Amino acid sequence: MSNHSLPCTFSTLVLSMASSAVLAMGLEKNPQTGQYEKDLNLARFNIDMLSLLKDKTRNNLDKDEQQFLDSVISDLQLKFVYASQAPNNQKSNKESAT
């Protein structure tokens, strides 16, 4: 098994899935391409996976883990609404203005 730079924890799992959702919403640049890429189906899939994780871990998480997961899901859902209403080129317009 290789050394990991991040600990394998519940919060790391949640953050990994959340990061994938944020990238898919086109809110951050893809680190591999350097471009904003919008794939709302993939973003929705990642949010749905986190919701599934919430359902499947119900009553098995400690209070902090549950609050963290709830907060991440709520934040992603709000961002998804924003991303789904924003034009596809919104980030590039902001970028060229700076």
Read off the pTM.
0.82
CA distance 12 to 26: 21
Amino acid 2: pLDDT: 56
Residue 35 backbone dihedrals phi, psi, to 5 degrees: -115, 155
Indicate the domain borders of the chain: 10-85
Residue 14: pLDDT above 50?
A: yes
Vertex 72, ends 63 and 92: CA angle to 5°?
165
Q: How confident is the model at residue 89 (pLDDT cuts 50, 70, 90)?
A: low
Looking at the DSSP bridge assignments, the partners of residue 29 are 36
Three-state DSSP class for 43?
Answer: helix
